Amino acid sequence: MFPSFFNKFTRDIAIDLGTANTRVFVKEKGIIIDEPSVVAINVKTEQILAVGQEAKNMLGKIPPHISVTRPLTNGIVSDYEVTEKMVKYFFDKVYEGGLSALARPRVLVTVPLEVTEVEMKAVEDATMSAGAKEVFLVQGPMASAIGTRMPIKDPIGNMIVDIGGGKTEVAVISLSGVVVWRSTPVAGDEMNRNIIQYAREVFNLFVGETHAEQIKMKVGSAIETGEKIEFPMRGRDVMTGLPKEVMVTDEHIREALHRSVRTIADLVKTTLEVTPPELTADIHERGLLLAGGGSLLRGIEKVIAEAADVPVRIADDPASAAVRGAGFLLDDKELLQEVMLPSARVSSL
């Protein structure tokens, strides 16, 4: 499965294929791409107009002949063709001038814990069609644990909470395997929708998704921070249809996000309740780790620590933990063989 050497023109690649962002790690170079998982397409010509941040900037501002889509939902490929085009676009950025027959890379891709064989095959097929020579799949929380240097090989309880864009996943890992896990679609994107709904119900204001995300990042918090933060919320008045601006505070956004934050904290508690006692004892002593972009919400670690009664810390650069872990696996063939998922393409032949 692993050739003793690879063509000198080949660069192995790790991809964290996320609902909100796609990150690409290239062997010997590190993370070279970190872009929103958004694609803009001319529906008349089927030509890609933009990918990543440039495409995201078009959301809500497009004429009828342009479609701006997110090809992944809850970490799962929901639009195969667009996903393939997006991955190929990123391959072309890695290999300036495009892939050649001599430069087809081995690619390691992260997938959610709750992934079906059909969904795995969709990821493998899209990546192969985009130009990969071989594709390996690894569960996202496992990659995040490796990326944060958790001692996953040891017979101890390692608990990681990965709060992404489309999904929050909680996993207890021991001896290089996931022992217990739980997941919920309540994550970063749901928090954005919370803010949109709150704006409509409280301020009679229609707010766009991109602006809601900006407000979450600027003002959002899970607990009182001790300082009052204000930010202008702009949109369209529900009653008049005219542009409108209101000043929102951290208290407003905290109220908007309360239900989602509690859902994530309760998910951690539920996972601990079904974890074997020996592993629970380890977690109570060693604590759990937060990864994923959603863990950057101010104070969320304190809410989880209080709810679960365990120490909680946030990983360094939590948003890139999964792709860093996937990148480490490119150099550790033995560990890769232990943690990678069986290929759905092989079993479907």
* CB distance 222 to 261 below 8 Å: yes
4 belongs to a structural domain: no
Residue 171's DSSP bridge partners are 160, 181
Asked if residue 35 is part of any domain, the answer here is: yes
- Say if residue 4's pLDDT is above 90: no
DSSP string of 196-219?
Answer: HHHHHHHH-EE--HHHHHHHHHHH
Distances (CA, A) of 41 to 66, 83, 92, 161, 237: 6, 12, 17, 34, 30
* Residue 84 within a domain: yes
3-state secondary structure of 16: strand
For residues 170-189, one letter each, b for 16 or more C-beta atoms within 10 angstroms of the residue's C-beta and e for the rest, the string is: bbbbbebebbbbbbbebbbb
Distance CA 167, CA 294 (A): 10
Alpha carbon of 310 to those of 159, 286, 304: distances in Å?
11, 8, 8
Distance (Å, rounded) from C-alpha 58 to C-alpha 268?
36
In a domain, residue 6? The reply is no
Domain count for the chain, please give it: 2
Q: What is the spatial distance between Cα 239 and Cα 255, in angstroms, rounded to a whole number?
A: 23
* Whether residue 162 sits in one domain with residue 132: no
12 or 156, higher pLDDT: 156
- Tell me: do 81 and 222 sit in the same domain: no
pLDDT of residue 122: 93
**Cα distance between residue 24 and residue 132, in whole Å:** 14
Least confident of 3-7, 143-147, 317-321: 3-7
Do residues 41 and 157 share a domain? no
Identify the bridge partners of residue 158 per DSSP, sorted by sequence position.
173
**What does pTM read for this prediction?**
0.91
7 in a domain, yes or no?
no
Calculate ∠ Cα 119-30-330, nearest 5°.
Answer: 55
pLDDT tens readout for residues 270-322: 999 999 999 999 999 999 999 999 999 999 999 999 999 999 999 999 999 99
pLDDT for 227: 84
- Domain match, 170 and 138 both: no
Residue that has been written with the tokens 């948003």 in this structure: 319
Pair (23, 90) in one structural domain: yes
Any domain includes 44? yes
Are residues 26 and 175 located together in one domain of the fold? no
In a domain, 196, yes or no: yes
Q: How confident is the model at residue 150 (pLDDT cuts 50, 70, 90)?
A: very high
pLDDT at 178 exceeding the cut of 80: yes
According to DSSP, residue 142 is labeled: H
- Same domain for 234 and 293: yes
36, 55 Cβ separation under 8 angstroms: yes
Instruction: Quick: pLDDT tens for 206-254.
Output: 999 999 999 999 999 999 988 889 999 999 999 999 999 999 999 999 9
Task: Say yes or no to pLDDT of 125 above 70.
Answer: yes
Cα 169 to Cα 210: distance, rounded to the nearest angstrom? 24
- Closest CA relative to residue 255, chosen from 211, 305, 201: 201
Strands 134-139 and 158-163: unpaired
Tell whether 299 and 331 lie within a shared domain: no
pLDDT tens digits, one per residue of 39-49? 999 999 888 89
Q: Report the largest interatomic distance among the alpha carbons of the chain, rounded to a whole angstrom.
A: 68
Contact present, 157 and 278 (Cβ < 8 Å): yes
Same domain, 169 and 298: yes
Estimate to the nearest angstrom the gap between the alpha carbon of 40 and the chain centroid: 20
Residue 3 lies in a domain: no
Same domain (yes/no): 190, 71: no
Q: Are residues 334 and 213 in the same domain?
A: no
How many helices (DSSP H) and strands (DSSP E) are in the chain?
Answer: 12, 18
| Cβ-based neighbour number of residue 305 at 10 Å | 18
What proportion of the chain, given as a percentage, has pLDDT over 90? Answer: 81
State percent of the chain over pLDDT 70.
94
Range of the domain at 264: 152-315
Specify the CATH number for the domain of residue 122. Answer: 3.30.420.40
Task: Give the β-pairing of 66-69 and 168-174.
Answer: unpaired
Tell me: do 184 and 292 sit in the same domain: yes
* Confidence band for 348, pLDDT divided at 50, 70 and 90: very low
pLDDT for res 94: 86
The C-alpha torsion from 191 through 197 and 200 to 202, rounded to 10°, is -80
Both tokens assigned to 304:
């989880």
